[in-house]
Amino acid sequence: MKKSALFGMLLLVACTQFSCNKEDKLTKTPTENEQTPTNEGSLLGGKTSTIEALSEAYFAQHTDEAANASKVISVTNEFMAINGQTDEFRNKKPARIQPIYAYGVEGVAYYEIWFSEDNKTPKGWILISATDKDYPLVNFSQGIPYSSHMLTEANQANKIYRFGVSYYAMEENGRKVADYGRMPTYIANQDRDLEDSNSEDTKTGDKSARKSAVEATEGVEYMAIADYESLKQLYAQHYYSPKRNIAALEMKRRIFPANGHGEALKRTGANQRTEGYYQYRWVPGLRTYYTQIPAYTSVNSYPCWSGCNNNAWAGIYGWWDANRGKASLIPTTSTGETSPRYRNTVARRNVVDPVQMYTRSVSGTYCGSGTGWTYWSNGYKGVFYSGAKGYGYNYRYQWCNSAGCNVNLANIVTEGIANNYTPVHIGANSHFYIGLGWSQWTDNTDWTWAYCYPGWSENDNDNVWIWWKDMNTATRLYIY
């Protein structure tokens, strides 16, 4: 646990699904393929600064946005006041303010504040909402700012758009020219609440599972996204819901007030001040960095990628194999390597990839537009691989079609990471992640965050903290 620290911390019915595009993150339209590679460091100007000085310089050039300056400064300062002494942010200083746009918000929707430790390379970021339509602090990370993967000195005039936690796109004159992450395949109707849950303890590996009694309806509980144009329209209509606005105002009042401190300073009955804090828990041990299997490669005989649901489960089993002595979950490679952490050689792929394809089969993943889609109600079935390998296991899961419709999602993350120090399977914004860290306010379990690995690369650069109200699913697995 790290005191005085900020924010360290399936599975819907057979109608709604998570789908996962190819996980090479940065994709460009054909006309952009010859573009000069991104030079992230060149965008920092070779120096860091205070957020006040950075804001003064930025808003002097963008006078039409000047009304947002006070919020950028106050949220950043509150974040660092609580988080500045943690290992993750102790040596980081603000280095750039990057405007982010969103369909459904007029003008700038967010500001991505880049941090740096060496005045040259962006490392760490927070995302601040410019309006009350979204949370004051939407996401944050110790890794690389998502927008930096698309930006160069030459294209800074282009606009970056955000579509949820896992997808950013760059537009030039209204045309998408690059993107980063994974484009959502649906957007939930946040004014509708459907949910289901289950928990089991078994030593038999029984693959039977209770069918969800709840049926989601396309066009009512969720809207399918066909392409980028439909994403822009549906995002504007459904993301900024009244429910999200209420949650945003609550976070603003409790954590990020315009003046003074929020919950960081609380008054006791004795009229004394005590400092609240975010407590952290981290999944210990070796991490796995598995990526998805492309179509028609390795043991994937399907015309689509293996699917983020199955990639996440393989990574969780890799953790159990390497750290909890479950040595048969990921077999020893032909080269004699036990518990491989990557799938970047033929020998490693030969033992890791069958795990992904097993969970694909039991989870009912299917192909859609070249991606692997898994129904929310089936995503948790990756737990059955434990029994297939001869282990007993118990699990608990919850799905929720509308982001944050049940506190059980936060409770499952707490139970798995904070209480048992094991990774948790998490779904948010049409993607599945491995939850590796947890943070919760000492006096309020509503303020719970999860630190998530998206499975895009063989490092932690894309890991991101996600608030529980943006989660759609959570599954805790314990193997014995």
The CA distances from residue 359 to 207, 324, 364, 384, 435, in Å, are: 11, 20, 8, 8, 18
Highest-scoring range by mean pLDDT, 75-84, 208-217, 465-474: 465-474
| Measured distance CA(36)–CA(34) in Å, rounded | 6
Q: Is the pTM here over 0.85, yes or no?
A: yes
Q: Stretch 358-378: mean pLDDT, rounded? A: 87
The fraction of the chain above a pLDDT of 70, given in percent, is: 85
Q: What is the pLDDT of residues 45-64, one digit of tens each?
A: 666 689 999 999 999 999 99
| Measured distance CA(94)–CA(51) in Å, rounded | 6
| Measured distance CA(97)–CA(11) in Å, rounded | 37
- pLDDT computed for residue 27 by the predictor: 34
Domain spans, the chain: 24-181, 193-228+277-479
Highest-scoring range by mean pLDDT, 272-286, 292-306, 369-383: 292-306
Q: What is the pLDDT of residues 322-335, one digit of tens each?
A: 999 998 899 999 99
Q: Is the pLDDT of residue 21 over 50?
A: no
Q: Please identify which residue in the block is written with the tokens 């040596």.
A: 91
| Measured distance CA(152)–CA(173) in Å, rounded | 17
Q: Is the pLDDT of residue 32 over 60?
A: no
Specify the range with the lowest mean pLDDT, choosing from 117-126, 133-142, 190-199, 388-397.
190-199
Strand-pairing partners, residue 41, are: none
* Distance, CA of 112 to chain centre: 16
- pLDDT computed for residue 452 by the predictor: 97
- pLDDT computed for residue 33 by the predictor: 27
Token reading at 176: 């998408």
| Measured distance CA(360)–CA(382) in Å, rounded | 8
Q: Is the pLDDT of residue 316 over 60?
A: yes
| Measured distance CA(254)–CA(444) in Å, rounded | 10
Domain at 193-228+277-479, CATH class: alpha beta
Confidence band of 22 (pLDDT split at 50, 70, 90)? very low
Q: Stretch 347-368: mean pLDDT, rounded? A: 95
Q: Stretch 28-47: mean pLDDT, rounded? A: 46
Confidence band of 220 (pLDDT split at 50, 70, 90)? confident
Q: Is the pLDDT of residue 39 over 50?
A: no
Specify the range with the lowest mean pLDDT, choosing from 99-103, 126-130, 423-427, 468-472.
468-472
Specify the range with the lowest mean pLDDT, choosing from 256-260, 304-308, 324-328, 380-384.
256-260
Q: Is the pLDDT of residue 175 over 90?
A: yes
The rounded radius of gyration (Å) of the Cα atoms in the chain is 22
Q: Is the pLDDT of residue 72 over 70?
A: yes
Q: Is the pLDDT of residue 26 over 60?
A: no
Confidence band of 29 (pLDDT split at 50, 70, 90)? very low
- pLDDT computed for residue 95 by the predictor: 93
Q: Stretch 342-369: mean pLDDT, rounded? A: 94
Q: Stretch 264-270: mean pLDDT, rounded? A: 50
Average pLDDT, the chain: 85
Q: Is the pLDDT of residue 271 over 50?
A: no
| Measured distance CA(151)–CA(37) in Å, rounded | 9
Q: Is the pLDDT of residue 2 over 50?
A: no
The CA distances from residue 454 to 39, 260, 276, 290, 359, in Å, are: 23, 35, 30, 10, 17
- Half-sphere exposure of 298 toward its Cβ, with a 13 Å CA cutoff? 24
- pLDDT computed for residue 277 by the predictor: 76
Confidence band of 265 (pLDDT split at 50, 70, 90)? low
| Measured distance CA(462)–CA(454) in Å, rounded | 7
- pLDDT computed for residue 351 by the predictor: 97
User: CB neighbours (10 Å) of residue 471?
Assistant: 29
| Measured distance CA(456)–CA(22) in Å, rounded | 9
Specify the range with the lowest mean pLDDT, choosing from 232-241, 316-325, 350-359, 436-445.
436-445
Token reading at 124: 């760490």
